[in-house]
Structure 1
Amino acid sequence: MSFSCGFVGLPNVGKSTLFNALCKGGAEAANFPFCTIEPNTGIVPVPDERLQVLSDLEHSGRIVPSTLKFIDIAGLVKGASQGQGLGNQFLGHIRSVDAIAHVVRLFDDPDVVHVDAEPDPVNDLEVIMTELMLADLDVLEKRRDRAHKLARSNDADAKLELELVKEMAAQLGEGKIPTYDKDNPKVAALVKSFELLTLMPAFVCANTDEETFKNFDANPKAKHLAEYAAQHGLEVVPVCAKLEDELGQLEPEDAAMFMEEIGIRETGLNRVIKTGYRLLDYITFFTAGPMESRAWTVTRGTPAPQAAGKIHTDLCRGFIRMETVSYEDLVAAGGWTKAQAAGKLRIEGKDYLIQDGDVIHVRFSV
């Protein structure tokens, strides 16, 4: 299972350049609006140091990491919600991803023309959020008309929907991300059916120059952006496309040395992946043996049979039990066999919820 992250932003903020740097996707990157029309897709491995450790312990023949799918969506412009630019086609592409990375420009380059005379990351984000809110308002207005007709016949569900639509539309009208009672299953199901863009998991990806990336918290524009993003419940993740491109061309050891030389601890790609996983509440479990060590991604709270089904549908259908050892216990013991001998192996049934770092073996019968 790989999760998909869509890059959304105004034209010429560096979306396609960033896309290419992160996943070497070969998307066309040029100095004019709507260079990207159809979404470009790239797959990147999710870094996880635990995989190499497991592979060494179990003498695995290969390592198979989880993957992340980046989708470079065409540039958004003012009026997209009303059909400007690529309009509805653009909005439809956003709805197809798991999480949104709102790309804003935090670098100065006279050779790259911005849609506004002076690049302003806060203005970039404001335009994006306004267009998404307007698109959501349009969705809610259509739902309100339908719910209003049904509510006349004393349909309880229609009355609830009408009330909910009015509340959320009012919040959007005030420039706020809609809130609702997430603990109410009926309300949560209704809101999910609305498919509102502003309620999708999202964060801000600030495309910076190298100096700003290294000293992001000290940059005045970055501080202003972080303050504005926080008003919409959005986290800001700095990424330098130029630096990511350079790192991507180096061997892992050389890349680590280069990062140490310039004083950075973590790549922008790693930050983006970690942020996406956290927003979507994803965790990683492992299978490890002589053939391969592999990482698997599931949503937190996934029962053991469904987690096993990620490996193969037969494992879910014929699930009997799961043999499990935590990554920490397995490493401390020195491998699966030694962990079993030390009594660290647990037998879990169908009600067990898979935990991050679980190393598993599934018993099944079909």
Structure 2
Amino acid sequence: MALTIGIIGLPQSGKTTLFNALTKSNAPISGYATTTVQANLAVVPVPDPRVDALAEIFQPKKKTYTTVEFVDVAGMGQAGAAGKDKQEGLSPEFLGHIRNADALAIVLRTFANENVPHIYNTIDPNRDLDSLNAELALTDLSTVERRIERTKKAAKSGDKKYLQELELLQRLKETLEDMQLARTLEFSQQDQAVLNELFLLTMKPRMYVLNTSEDMLATANELLEKIRAGENVQIDALQGEAKGFAQIAQRAREEGAEVVAVSAKLEAELNELPQEEANEYLEALGLPQLGADRVIQVGYRLLNLITFLTAGEDEVRAWTVTRGAKAPEAAGKIHTDIEKGFIRAEVTSFDDFMACGSFAAAAKKGVQRLEGRDYVIQDGDIAHFRFNKGK
């Protein structure tokens, strides 16, 4: 399962700089809103020190990380940039690049720089988020209105299914007309089938990526942690970038979204350094890891994903599953035949394996377990699946 994250934001927010830092690409940077339908795409491995540690032990022919696909689309906010009287939502071509994304990374600029003008002339991430939400809502509204026309025709048959669908679509329409996110509504299990067909952008899990100035990163991380933990932060008493951090963090907490602070400019500069020098510089700034790595980790947490491992002389590999997946489903990530013929799983936690140094020692110590069909895979499990090849 490859996680796909769509990166969106206003022009000059630093989203393409962030994309380049995340993917070590050299995508061209545009300083204005554009109607281009092109997008930057890249698939990158997810850093996982557990894979590296196991590879040191097994010396496999191959080691494979899980991957994330990033999709960076052109700058939004066309109304503000192009002088239109009203926003019209995203074009179908533009929408096509991000409608299948698992989550959205919404880049919000908090840094000031006279050499990098803002399309609204002032720095206000809270306002920028409102603008982006409005454009996403209008895009979804167009999708819902088209579906309403189609469903109305089908409902003439009197089929209860279509009448119920119309009720759902009308609720969505009213919410989106108020420039509210569709995900703020409550839905029944029956509604999900229709929602899955609509690919609404305002239904997608989201993270807010605060693109900060380098010297404010530590302050940003401190504030985000306090608000995430539910501490009482006097937002109105804050000023400048700090106030922007806190406002977005509070919104994220209320929405059940995630938020991470990075300096896209710093990330780009660190990518030019040897790894050892980059790590030393990060340590000097009091940062445990690159913002790019934190964006990926937040994406996993947002989508409730975990990683299990397989290890041997042929390959050490990381695999992604949804938290709560049972052993047969995890086995199916490797091959559908293994899921169909599943017998049981030999499971050792990564920490237990590293403490023992080998599967044989783990089995002898009793920390290698045989688990059945109902076993729920845990993050960091090293699994070997036994299966009936005849099934």
Q: Hey, what does 2:195 align to over in structure 1?
A: 191
Q: Hey, what does 2:116 align to over in structure 1?
A: 112
In the alignment, structure 1 residue 207 sits paired with structure 2 residue 239 = no
Please report the RMSD computed on the Cα atoms of aligned residues, expressed in angstroms.
2.7
In 1, Cα distance between equivalents of 2:360 and 2:147: 58
Unaligned runs of 5+ in 1: none
Q: Hey, what does 1:262 align to over in structure 2?
A: 285
Asked if the contact 1:18/1:241 (under 8 Å) is kept, the reply is yes
Deviation by residue 1:200-238 (Cα, 9 ceiling, x = unmatched): 111111111101222213712222333344454433211
In the alignment, structure 1 residue 220 sits paired with structure 2 residue 243 = yes
In 2, Cα distance between equivalents of 1:158 and 1:46: 43
In the alignment, structure 1 residue 323 sits paired with structure 2 residue 327 = no
Range with greater deviation from structure 2 (301-310 or 89-98): 301-310
In 1, Cα distance between equivalents of 2:165 and 2:79: 28
Q: Hey, what does 1:54 align to over in structure 2?
A: 54
In 2, Cα distance between equivalents of 1:195 and 1:91: 10
In the alignment, structure 1 residue 240 sits paired with structure 2 residue 244 = no
Deviation by residue 1:98-129 (Cα, 9 ceiling, x = unmatched): 11111121111222232222232222211110
Are residues 303 and 87 of structure 1, via their aligned partners in 2, closer, same or farther at CA, if it must alter by over 3 Å? same
In 1, Cα distance between equivalents of 2:78 and 2:255: 19
Asked if the contact 2:205/2:257 (under 8 Å) is kept, the reply is no
Give the superposition deviation at 1:147.
Answer: 3.1
Q: Hey, what does 2:231 align to over in structure 1?
A: none
Q: Which amino acid aligns with 2:351?
A: E
Q: Hey, what does 2:382 align to over in structure 1?
A: 359
Asked if the contact 1:77/1:84 (under 8 Å) is kept, the reply is no
Superposition TM-score, scaled by structure 1 size: 0.89
Aligned residues: 365
In 1, Cα distance between equivalents of 2:89 and 2:144: 22
In the alignment, structure 1 residue 291 sits paired with structure 2 residue 314 = yes
In the alignment, structure 1 residue 34 sits paired with structure 2 residue 38 = no
2:140 is paired with a residue whose SS is helix
Q: Which amino acid aligns with 2:95?
A: L
Give the superposition deviation at 1:329.
Answer: 2.3
Unaligned runs of 5+ in 2: 81-85, 224-237
Q: Hey, what does 1:65 align to over in structure 2?
A: 65
Asked if the contact 2:90/2:139 (under 8 Å) is kept, the reply is no
In 2, Cα distance between equivalents of 1:148 and 1:37: 31
2:377 is paired with a residue whose SS is coil
Which of 171, 177, 197 is residue 173 of structure 1 equivalent to?
Answer: 177
Are residues 122 and 180 of structure 1, via their aligned partners in 2, closer, same or farther at CA, if it must alter by over 3 Å? closer
In the alignment, structure 1 residue 44 sits paired with structure 2 residue 67 = no
Give the superposition deviation at 1:295.
Answer: 0.9
2:273 is paired with a residue whose SS is coil
Q: Which amino acid aligns with 1:5?
A: I
Give the fraction of aligned pairs with identical amino acids, expressed as a percent. 41
1:215 is paired with a residue whose SS is helix
Q: Hey, what does 2:20 align to over in structure 1?
A: 20
In 1, Cα distance between equivalents of 2:256 and 2:174: 18
In 1, Cα distance between equivalents of 2:201 and 2:89: 18
Q: Which amino acid aligns with 1:163?
A: E
